[in-house]
Amino acid sequence: MTKTYKIYLVAGARPNFIKIAPILRALQNYKDKIDAQIIHTGQHYDYEMSQVFFEQLGIPEPDFYLDVGSGSHAFQTAQVMIRFEKLLIDDRPDLVVVLGDVNSTLAGALTAVKLHIPVAHIEAGLRSFDKSMPEEINRILTDHISDLLFTTEPVADANLAKEGIESEKIHLVGNVMIDALINILPVIENNDTTDRLGLNPQSFGVVTLHRPSNVDSENALRKVLAVLRNVISHGKIIFPAHPRTIKNIEKFNIRDEFESLENLEIIEPLGYIDFMNLVKKSKFVMTDSGGIQTETTWLGVPCITLRENTEHVITIENGTNHLTGLDLGKIQKAFDWIENFDKSKYKPPEIWDGKAAERIVMIILKHFHLN
Which residues carry out catalysis?
Answer: 210
Residue among 270, 214, 210, 220 nearest 245 (CA): 210
Both ends of the chain: CA-CA distance in Å? 16
**What is the rounded distance in angstroms from the CA atom of residue 51 to the CA atom of residue 69?**
14
Distances (CA, A) of 155 to 78, 81, 138, 152, 314: 31, 31, 18, 9, 8
Beta strands in the chain (DSSP E): 5-11, 34-40, 64-65, 95-99, 119-124, 148-151, 170-172, 204-208, 236-240, 264-267, 284-287, 303-305, 321-323
Residue among 210, 183, 187, 179 nearest 19 (CA): 179
**What is the rounded distance in angstroms from the CA atom of residue 15 to the CA atom of residue 11?**
9
